[in-house]
Structure 1
């Protein structure tokens, strides 16, 4: 089976392709001729995932799936949340985002956080949603060089390492995206 993954984020494509069984192959936006920035202007992670999936289905006519992910920090009332990728500005720089978050937490003792991923699947004229959550905490400093985004400062519950210190396979077993993808894979196999 081949299906479009509605993202231009090469890190996400690489990570998700590793989570999928060999029977499911991702078609990139590049391959369908979509080079524009897909709008992500909704107020929630769910709505952004739906918006991206619908954009590809409506404009290009493909069945597809799209995800949106946010890091929600308890002591910051859920920030950066839906603005996670643009937390420090439109340049979407991971280091700038992490530095801003670490600064915002510098006087906080509660560093509890969770990553939330929602996947919207448009398939055969119907839409299905899958969600995954990974709970943990924000570390005091960056550690590790695997993964992307906030991975160097997110330590999942029950681990002494950040996501950036785990292999792709280890992270995939416990991550928010891995949990949502697992549900998507089960659905697609049926």
Structure 2
């Protein structure tokens, strides 16, 4: 059995198929509930053991056991644990803001380029400050429009917890400032 963490919660990983895991639970008098989660080649189970609710996301080769539903997704839990098995550090939970900013930046990048960003951080791909001003402006306006459509306006950002960097980015964005420039470049 291997031990990892996802979003600060311990995850145990066993090399056991989903059907063998369910049979083992049944052999111990536990009948799990299949949760309505659709992950290709995996089943998500909830069961009680020793007075505690537990969860298993179980597939063809491995079963991931945890005590909490991941705040991001079961797929992220699986990927994070697999990455840790390959020597990577546990991932930090991405905020909704960070996730949607990446989505908005990818769309804005497609507006100014015929290349696909392939999910990489936009700033590391193109170095926006090196682009002509009209392309930077188009990028900024697309990101701003999308972030506002996601609900990130001046009133909302004061109602939710954000990191100082996220707050700085959205404030600059809403003020039509190039948020990708360092303060000493502006």
Q: Same fold (TM over 0.5)?
A: no
Structure with more strand by fraction? 1
Which has more radius of gyration?
2
Could you say which structure has the greater relative contact order, defined with CA pairs below 8 angstroms and 6 or more residues apart?
Answer: 1
- TM-score bracket, normalised by the shorter chain, equals under 0.3
TM-score by length of 1: 0.24
